[in-house]
Amino acid sequence: MALIVQKYGGTSVGTTERIKNVAQRVARFKAQGHQVVVVVSAMSGETNRLIGLAKGIQSNPDPREMDVLVATGEQVTIALLSMALMEMGLKAKSYTGAQVRILTDNAFTKARILSIDEENLRRDLNAGYVAVVAGFQGVDERGNITTLGRGGSDTTGVALAAALKADECQIYTDVDGVYTTDPRIVPEARKLKTITFEEMLEMASLGSKVLQIRSVEFAGKYKVKLRVLSSFEEEGEGTLITFEEDAMEQPIISGIAFNRDEAKVTVLGVPDRPGIAYAILGPVAEANIDVDMIIQNVGADGTTTDFTFTVHRNEFAKALGILKAAQGSIGAREVKGDDKITKVSLVGVGMRSHSGIASSMFKTLAAEGINIQMISTSEIKISVVIDEKYLELAVRVLHKAFNLEHAA
Ligand code: ASP
Ligand code: MG
């Protein structure tokens, strides 16, 4: 007998028919003698619909009320799924975040989990119940409803698995695992049997939206065995997210991630003196804008420097505005921006022990006449910024050049 936490995303519970299918899958696991905790998202589109309603009333909705509102989406699905389980003759009980007592801080709309009281759940499981828990929501010390940020049900699932010391956390979604890259761009993309946590973190943060990045961080920290599977397939092992030390031999490159949401801001001709990076990025940080890549090069005259950084496209206009306003005080010759860029990254823990990956990547892009605007690297990834019009071409040629359609 194992204790399994299963999380079902919005499309998997998008209709009452699909909710019944989820109930059937849960019943199969119960029939095998396992204890099951189910975490569900709101029905697909529901969270967006609720946010839309709020924005029809307040252009900048009050965060506390926003959380009261959007938390209702998951309250609907826990009740419906519990009913569907009962209809199949199972014992089931729904829980809101507050009823479990998933205690969070009070950062409305992006709260963090502080602790989970797993006793009630444990008692129900031992009494033969399926516990159905609302994803995405918690409660703060004072009893206010909080939510964990978009996609937060993944984090609820992993956090519950950690608190209950579950044998496995299964994330059911509309894809059957993690792929070498987006199959819509590269039809030959291959499903990975395993991927390491570090790689998954890179893939998630670089824009492969299979799992909420915080859930992956959480799983890594608490060593939760995490698996991504399709809720629309009867069989299949999905993709298991492993710890590097468990893996036998690593392929050099596991996948190619890309992020269409980037934009870059360039500050030209600033005096090359101590404090200049701070003068440029300080106001950006103060406005709570996350900066991703940064490049600084000394100009030809040796006294000025050019500074380029990337931000999320949503914050491009704001970042550009801040720097245009600061242009005079920084002493910059010019401030300009480009939001028609994209970031493409090769990810693989095997890179640690292999050299020459970067140069093969650059050679492959050069052969297609794709200009690289920025480069950044870590031990397990190489990212380049290119013109967005070359995104699909770049991903396709790199997938081929690194032989990703064939298992290593
Ligand atoms: N319903 C929430 C959202 O759409 C949480 C989730 O689905 O994970 O972001
Ligand atoms: Mg989701």
Cβ partners under 8 Å of residue 376, min gap 6: 293, 382, 383
112 in any annotated domain: yes
- Distance (Å, rounded) from C-alpha 65 to C-alpha 33? 41
Number of domains observed in the structure of the chain: 1
Q: Which domain holds residue 10?
A: 3-174
- Distance (Å, rounded) from C-alpha 256 to C-alpha 309? 22
Q: How many CB atoms lie within 10 A of CB 185?
A: 16
- Distance (Å, rounded) from C-alpha 358 to C-alpha 370? 15
- Per-residue pLDDT, 38: 98
Q: 147: which 2 tokens?
A: 């939510």
Longest dimension (CA), the chain: 79
CATH of the domain at 119: 3.40.1160.10
C-beta 177 within 6 A of ligand 1: no
The best mutation among 96, 136, 145, 210 to test binding of ligand 1, ranked by most ligand atoms within 8 Å of the C-beta, falls on 136
Could you tell me which residues are beta bridge partners of residue 259?
Answer: 343
Taking alpha carbons only, the member of 125, 78, 127 closest to residue 98 is 78
- Per-residue pLDDT, 248: 59
> Rounded to the nearest whole angstrom, what is the distance from the C-alpha of residue 63 to the centroid of ligand 2?
21
Q: Supply the pTM of this predicted model.
A: 0.84
> Rounded to the nearest whole angstrom, what is the distance from the C-alpha of residue 135 to the centroid of ligand 1?
8
Reported as a single tens digit per residue, the pLDDT across 369-401 is 999 999 999 999 999 999 999 999 999 999 999
C-beta 41 within 6 A of ligand 1: yes
156 in any annotated domain: yes
C-beta 157 within 6 A of ligand 1: no
CA distances from 37 to 150, 161, 177, 197, 348 (A): 21, 9, 21, 23, 33
Residue recorded with tokens 């206009």 = 317
290 in any annotated domain: no
101-126: b (≥16 Cβ within 10 Å) or e:
bbbbeeebbbbebeebebeebbebbe
Closest protein CA for atom 5 of ligand 1: 151
Taking alpha carbons only, the member of 83, 76, 4, 90 closest to residue 43 is 76
C-beta 10 within 6 A of ligand 1: yes
Q: 359: which 2 tokens?
A: 């140069």
- List strands edge to edge, sheet with 381-387: 255-259, 341-347, 381-387, 374-378
> Rounded to the nearest whole angstrom, what is the distance from the C-alpha of residue 148 to the centroid of ligand 1?
9
8 A C-beta contact, residue 92 and residue 130:
yes
C-beta 42 within 6 A of ligand 1: yes
- Per-residue pLDDT, 249: 63
State CA 20 to chain mean position distance. Answer: 27
Q: 399: which 2 tokens?
A: 């997938």
CA distances from 84 to 18, 19, 78, 94, 324 (A): 10, 7, 10, 11, 57
275 in any annotated domain: no
- Per-residue pLDDT, 382: 95
Ligand nearest to the CA of 150: 1
- Per-residue pLDDT, 350: 87
- Per-residue pLDDT, 208: 67
8 A C-beta contact, residue 183 and residue 257:
no
8 A C-beta contact, residue 256 and residue 346:
yes
255 in any annotated domain: no
Which conformational region is residue 223 in: left (phi greater than 0), alpha (psi within -120 to 50 degrees), or beta?
left
Reported as a single tens digit per residue, the pLDDT across 102-145 is 999 999 999 999 999 999 999 999 999 999 999 999 999 999 99
3-state SS, the chain, equals CCEEEEEECHHHHCCHHHHHHHHHHHHHHHHCCCEEEEEECCCCCHHHHHHHHHHCCCCCCCHHHHHHHHHHHHHHHHHHHHHHHHHCCCCEEEECHHHHCEEECCCCCCCCEEEECCHHHHHHHHCCCEEEEECCEEECCCCCEEECCCCCHHHHHHHHHHHHCCCEEEEEECCCCCECCCCCCCCCCCECCEEEHHHHHHHHHCCCCCCCHHHHHHHHHHCCCEEEEECCCCCCCCEEEECHHHCCCCCCCCEEEEECCEEEEEEEEEECCCCHHHHHHHHHHHCCCCEEEEEEEECCCCCEEEEEEEEEHHHHHHHHHHHHHHHHHHCCCEEEEECCEEEEEEECHHHHHCCCHHHHHHHHHHHCCCCCCEEEEECCEEEEEEEHHHHHHHHHHHHHHCCCCCCC
> Rounded to the nearest whole angstrom, what is the distance from the C-alpha of residue 73 to the centroid of ligand 1?
9
63 in any annotated domain: yes
Instruction: Point out the residues of the chain with pLDDT beneath 70.
Output: 207-208, 245-250, 408
Residues, CB within 5 angstroms of ligand 2 (ion): 9, 151
Taking alpha carbons only, the member of 134, 180, 179, 27 closest to residue 91 is 27
- Per-residue pLDDT, 207: 67
383 in any annotated domain: no
C-beta 150 within 6 A of ligand 1: yes
8 A C-beta contact, residue 53 and residue 69:
yes
Q: 183: which 2 tokens?
A: 């199959």
149 in any annotated domain: yes
